[in-house]
Amino acid sequence: MNAITAITPAWFNASDVQIYDNALAEALQGDVVAHLNEPGWAFGAYSDASPNASRYWYKHFAGYVRDGKEARTAQGVEDELETASSVISAVWRQLKSGPLAGHSLTRCYANGYPAGSEGGLHLDSNVPDHFTAIYYPHTSWHPNFAGETVFFAGDGSDIVLSVYPKPNRLVVFPGVIPHVARGVSRMCPQLRVTLMFKTAKSSFPTAR
């Protein structure tokens, strides 16, 4: 991720963030939830690179893990995802034939925020044709649990959109939009889980 200080434009608005409700069929949503509830989580992910930033749980499925410095191909990332998880691979196949048509997958992972963990305002990329898709897999979520994804103007001066983690919702946005996952309330008895797909729209990035 990139620091907020790297942002220069301030043209972002709510229309730059696309929201798709009922994104997956109920059966596939259930498979995703069951799969993400399985063992295999690791602890230590962060969205703010400062030394005292909150850490949270994550599962890496496929793609880049070191800021795009590994050699990867579009087909190689898809093959890696299929090997890691046929369930998550099925989600990707559906997305690339729908809202992410024309996109190449560069990374796929899941995040799990427990109460007390906080996100940090950040960019996912500094390249305009890099996108992020966030899928909220929960079968239920209460407004008092909090955990919204909040999008900011390019200079960080104001909120342009706050997205509720509604079950079975998909959110797609350019990675250059600053955003943050707000922490969940102490009332929340579960992890705030998101399934993340990072993509490149016009061309697949090469190792730098």
Is 35 part of a structural domain of the chain? yes
Beta carbons within 8 Å of 158's beta carbon, 6+ residues apart = 152
Q: What is the pTM of this model?
A: 0.92
Strand partners, 136: 169
Antiparallel, parallel or unpaired: β 159-163 and 130-136: unpaired
Collapsing DSSP states into helix, strand and coil, what is residue 6?
Answer: helix
Residue 67 lies in a domain: no
Q: Is residue 11 scored above 90 in pLDDT?
A: no
User: Is 194 contained in some domain?
Assistant: yes
**Cα torsion 7, 201, 135, 1: sign:** negative
pLDDT of residue 13: 82
Q: Which range of residues forms the domain containing residue 157? A: 2-59+109-200
Domain membership of residue 177 (yes or no) is: yes
- At how many degrees (to 10) do helices 74-84 and 86-96 cross? 140
47 belongs to a structural domain:
yes
By mean pLDDT, which of 9-13, 44-48, 122-126, 169-173 is the weakest? 9-13
Residue 156 lies in a domain: yes
Residue 198 contacts residue 174 (beta carbons within 8 Å)? no
Return the pLDDT at 6.
44
Tell whether 90 is covered by a domain. no
pLDDT for residue 109? 98
Which of 84-93, 149-158, 160-169, 198-207 is least confident? 198-207
Q: What is the CATH number of the domain that holds 183?
A: 2.60.120.620
**What are the pLDDT digits (tens) for 40-58?**
999 999 888 777 888 999 9
Task: Name the E strands within the chain.
Answer: 2-3, 18-20, 42-45, 56-63, 104-113, 122-123, 130-136, 149-152, 159-163, 169-174, 179-181, 192-200
Q: Say if 15 falls within a structural domain.
A: yes
- Which pLDDT does position 68 carry in this prediction? 64
For the segment 136-186, what is each residue's pLDDT rounded down to a tens digit?
999 999 999 999 999 998 888 899 999 999 999 999 999 999 999 999 999
Rounded Cα gap, residues 48 and 180, in angstroms: 9
Q: In what order do the strands lie in the sheet with 122-123?
A: 2-3, 122-123, 179-181, 149-152, 159-163
Which residues, in sequence order, are bridge partners of residue 110?
59, 195
Q: What is the mean pLDDT of residues 93-101?
A: 97
| Number of domains into which the chain is organized | 1
